[in-house]
Structure 1
Amino acid sequence: MAVETKIGASAPPMSIRDWTLLVLLGAIWGGSFFFARIAVAEIAPLALVMFRVSIAAAVLQLWLLLRGPSFRLAFPLAGSFFVMATLNNIIPFSLIFLGQTELGAGLASVLNATTPFWTAILANMLTQDEKLSAAKITGILFGIAGTAVMIGPGLIAGLGGPIWAKFALIGASISYGFAFIFARRFRGVPPPVVATGQLTASTVVMIPLVLLVHGPAGLFAASFEVWSAVIALAVLATAFAYILYFRIIASAGATNASLVTLIVPMSAILLGTLFLGERLEVFEIAGMALIGLGLVTIDGRLFAAAPKPFGRSHVNRM
């Protein structure tokens, strides 16, 4: 019988399994940009958020009903799930959509990639087992720089725009940082239940909000292609992805889990190259190399395994 990983345990170093799950999550969330690009052409952003979280919540509720564990485990933590939904879905989604009305996608991606930086600072302030280290900060800065290089001309073209829009994107990243930290408190709750609780709470908030803003008329008036993209966004990039997300937080900690925001833009570009026939540019390859260097620096094992200089070894033997 499989043992569920629990949220809130002390965070050990990243294992190969953790890195594999992180890369898989980054690939899935990178693909979500493709599905969202199709869906937002016919569905208003707030309505798209509602459909995304509500369909994902329904899928996970059905999964728990058929396979377990029981969703009753979430009932004593109902208030915490509404806080988690606010920090991880409602606030950041709203701020990102608001900011992107004025900012280019390149600048928005770089500002979103600062999430690990804010998470590391918050974790250092609010937790006992995820303190800042030189390797962690250096790696995160490499990753942010790599994202900026990888976006390239798109970033330069989008550097303009009002300051409030840039603060909106930064605010979304900080909200995600708080969400990574807050997720640690779901002690003893299996990750599928945490994912279901968060998305169910988001649904309870989003349905009346969308009905208030848009009304019921025309909410379901979209093409088959768009609804296919919505289903993929909800089932793969939300329901399944959030189970991975909470598993990574449980086993690797908030700061390590937040590194997924560095992998997402790299994944989006690679998927565009593989499936949309987009050309991979030299600056994109250089940016990916910098992100890879940042992740290796954070992991630390490659540098730890490197041979020590002769002079240092000789001194240590004296």
Structure 2
Amino acid sequence: MTSPINLRMGAAEWAMLVVLSILWGGSFFFLEIALDEVPPFTLVFARLGLSALLMLAFMAFARRAMPRRPGLWPALFLLAFLNTALPFSLFAYAQTEITSGHASILNATTPLWGVIVAHLFTPDEKATPGKLAGVAAGIAGVSVMIGGGAISGLGASLPAQLACLGATFCYALAGVYGRRFRAWGAGPFEVATGQLIAGATLILPVALLIDRPWQLALPGTTTLLAIGGLALFSTTVAYFLYFSLIARAGATNALLVTLLIPVTAILLGTLLLGEVLLPRHWVGMALIAAGFVAIDGRLVDRLRDT
């Protein structure tokens, strides 16, 4: 029997969420570089295929094996469709039309979909006024941090924006669906590996049919390094952490990572590139922090009890 999910995160879960936000925040950077030379579907296949090989190599080294439960692989293919093949393709297409800043704002709607989907399809992750208010505050904070230019740009390229929203809805469905593997005895390594194999299998015929990658020129070193970073850090390591977090803290909490991605990206730019924190960055981070407090609920409960 599996232990119950702790819907109020502790220090370890918050640390995992921060690391995950850094890894996935880097994916927008890697995508922007790689899309200059590699078309979207081929890039998604390279990302998933390389990541699957890395995970298989690790599992072989650690002498781990996939569970033999009937129905596991069909479930993994559905998870891969919702969590990698379709949303990765939608975001890769979208970033050929809109900037990474626009994509980041739309990506931040994921927890809102997560709260709604979890409320409808789980017995223990019901929506509350605090959760809805917290997610709204977080999305507002992301919009403020990224700035008015990005917000005004949201009026452009409607198909690309709808693609981003479709991708975030898929992430929410996948987050809730991914909870079932814990009860099946499939750990984070096994779920991540199976999902990546299934995702690469799903996207391969699409890439061959649409992109015809054998006709493409060999990408340059910078692009190859971006693809490597996308596969190793933003996919292989990230998905292990993601499924670990779902198992420990539930789908709604795991999806909060999208609110943290802009925060970590801006803080890394300040620490590593000498960028300056503007007043809107502080305001945005304050709104996101307030959103997390509302979603977590513990401080609100204490204030109510005093």
Fold similarity call, TM over 0.5? yes
One-letter amino acid matched to 2:246: I
Deviates more, 1:249-258 or 1:273-282: 273-282
* Unmatched segments (≥5 aa) in structure 1: 310-318
Q: Which residue of 2 aligns with 1:144?
A: 139
- Return the alpha-carbon distance in structure 1 between the equivalents of residues 201 and 304 of structure 2: 56
Q: Which residue of 2 aligns with 1:313?
A: none
Written as runs of structure 1 = structure 2, the 5 A alignment for 1:90-105 is 90-105=85-100
Shift of 1:210: 1.2
Distance 1:114 1:195, change over 3 A: same
Written as runs of structure 1 = structure 2, the 5 A alignment for 1:64-83 is 64-73=59-68, 76-83=71-78
- Return the alpha-carbon distance in structure 1 between the equivalents of residues 31 and 164 of structure 2: 18
- Return the alpha-carbon distance in structure 2 between the equivalents of residues 167 and 33 of structure 1: 17
Is contact 1:146-1:289 (8 Å) kept?
yes
For residues 227-276 of structure 1, the C-alpha deviation after alignment (integer angstroms, 9 at most, x for no partner) is 12211211111111100000000010011111001011211222233334
**TM-score, length-scaled by structure 1:** 0.88
From 211, 214, 219, the equivalent of 1:214 is 211
**Structure whose CA Rg is larger:** 1
From 248, 258, 262, the equivalent of 2:245 is 248
From 99, 104, 107, the equivalent of 1:109 is 104
Shift of 1:200: 0.4
Residues 1:41 and 2:36 aligned together: yes
Deviates more, 1:37-46 or 1:232-241: 37-46
Q: Which residue of 2 aligns with 1:275?
A: 272
- Return the alpha-carbon distance in structure 2 between the equivalents of residues 237 and 306 of structure 1: 38
Shift of 1:76: 4.3
One-letter amino acid matched to 1:248: L
Q: Which residue of 2 aligns with 1:314?
A: none
Q: Which residue of 1 aligns with 2:297?
A: 300
Residues 1:230 and 2:219 aligned together: no
Q: How many residues align?
A: 304
Deviates more, 1:213-222 or 1:195-204: 213-222
- Return the alpha-carbon distance in structure 2 between the equivalents of residues 120 and 63 of structure 1: 34
Is contact 2:67-2:186 (8 Å) kept?
no
Q: Which residue of 1 aligns with 2:126?
A: 131
For residues 256-301 of structure 1, the C-alpha deviation after alignment (integer angstroms, 9 at most, x for no partner) is 1110010112112222333344333221221112111111221223
- Return the alpha-carbon distance in structure 1 between the equivalents of residues 31 and 158 of structure 2: 25
- Return the alpha-carbon distance in structure 2 between the equivalents of residues 220 and 194 of structure 1: 34
Cα RMSD for the two superposed structures: 2.3
Deviates more, 1:199-208 or 1:249-258: 199-208
One-letter amino acid matched to 1:233: L
Percent identical across equivalent pairs? 43
- Return the alpha-carbon distance in structure 2 between the equivalents of residues 131 and 181 of structure 1: 12
- Return the alpha-carbon distance in structure 2 between the equivalents of residues 277 and 182 of structure 1: 41
Distance 1:164 1:223, change over 3 A: closer
**TM-score, length-scaled by structure 2:** 0.91
Is contact 1:35-1:230 (8 Å) kept?
yes
Distance 1:307 1:130, change over 3 A: closer
* Unmatched segments (≥5 aa) in structure 2: none
- Return the alpha-carbon distance in structure 2 between the equivalents of residues 133 and 85 of structure 1: 29
